[in-house]
Amino acid sequence: MAQESVDVPPLQYYRHGRFKVAGGVLPGAVTAYQTYGDPNNPCIVFPTCYGAKLAQGIHLIGENRALDPRKYFIVTFALFCNGESSSPSNTPPPYNGVYFPLTNYEDNIRAQYAVLTKQLGVKRVFCALGFSMGGQQAYHWAVVYPDFVDRIVVICSAARTSPHSKWLVGPKNALRSAKDYNDGHYTMQPHHAIRAFNRVCVGWAYGQTWWRQKLYLYDGLYPSLETFIREVWETPSLLHWDANDMLSLLQTWQDGDASQVRDGGDLEQCLRAIKAKVLLLPCKTDLYFCPEDSQNEVKYLQYGQLFVIDSVWGHIAGGAANPADVEFVTARILEFLT
């Protein structure tokens, strides 16, 4: 059956007023979001991942796709620090730039809950779904509001950012050490810093076999690895991202741990308490969120299913890069939502 593309709706903004976050307070917090479909249909929450704006990462939305706007009311949310919701780049003094307070996943979920219940009139979430940082938000939905969410889908993600992912200090330090970052007090975007950040990240994003097979050439679309990195990784960041936003969002990722919400860091207890049905879709070659994390988690879930994406595309298998992986993920989601 043919998949239909979806028209991207306009951005909407919910203004929370004074909003407490992990690192303090935002006097005028804003959550950006978009909606697809009829509000009378079952609600699906689909938050952004790292590096995504709301208009990106929507490959699962559309007629005959995993998330069909004819069947569901789909709400996509922008993470704090993604440049659309409250972020270092768009917050006025005294919380602009490097002075922006730390935000965590729980802050984001509380903000999203406010939009759903106060603005959109949603009484219950049929499914919270996400890729990468979006998957960590899905887990947090099931923990922060256990009686509000029926099911969650976690794609290439985990309930807790693993010790292995402390590698995130690598790209962070590469950005901070660049000559034009100026300790975050730059007057124009620090291109050297952003390029350095991306060149560290790209090496982790794909499976090692993917690199060995030179799949970065995309059947001749890119004549070299250098061209691929510049066009696929550097260009979007240089055009659309702010360096302080990138660092703040990275800290949210690095600190991610659903067991800290109410279980004092006891991940097993946290997972056992989840009432929602859970679908885990790790990739066997993911270096960001290794599949072993999902295999450990599913042992403690009351209603957990796990299917491994058999792909060399690594973490990116959970995104929109490889049609075969998208097809696999779509099929598993459709089965789970039925």
Q: Which domains does the chain have, with CATH numbers?
A: 12-161+258-337 (3.40.50.1820), 166-250 (no CATH)
pLDDT tens readout for residues 174-223: 999 999 999 999 999 999 999 999 999 999 999 999 999 999 999 999 99
Catalytic residue among 16, 59, 140, 315: 315
| Dist. CA 112–CA 86, nearest whole Å | 13
Catalytic residue among 107, 242, 245, 286: 286
Backbone angles phi, psi at 58, to 5 degrees: -110, 25
When pLDDT is averaged across residues 72-86 and rounded to a whole number, the result is 98
When pLDDT is averaged across residues 76-82 and rounded to a whole number, the result is 98
150 is catalytic: no
pLDDT at 56: 84
315 is catalytic: yes
Share of the chain above pLDDT 70, in %: 99
132 is catalytic: yes
3-state SS record for 266-293: CHHHHHHHCCCEEEEECECCCCCCCHHH
pLDDT at 6: 81
- pTM (global) more than 0.85: yes
Q: Which amino acid is at 167?
A: W
pLDDT tens readout for residues 252-295: 999 999 999 999 999 999 999 999 999 999 999 999 999 999 99
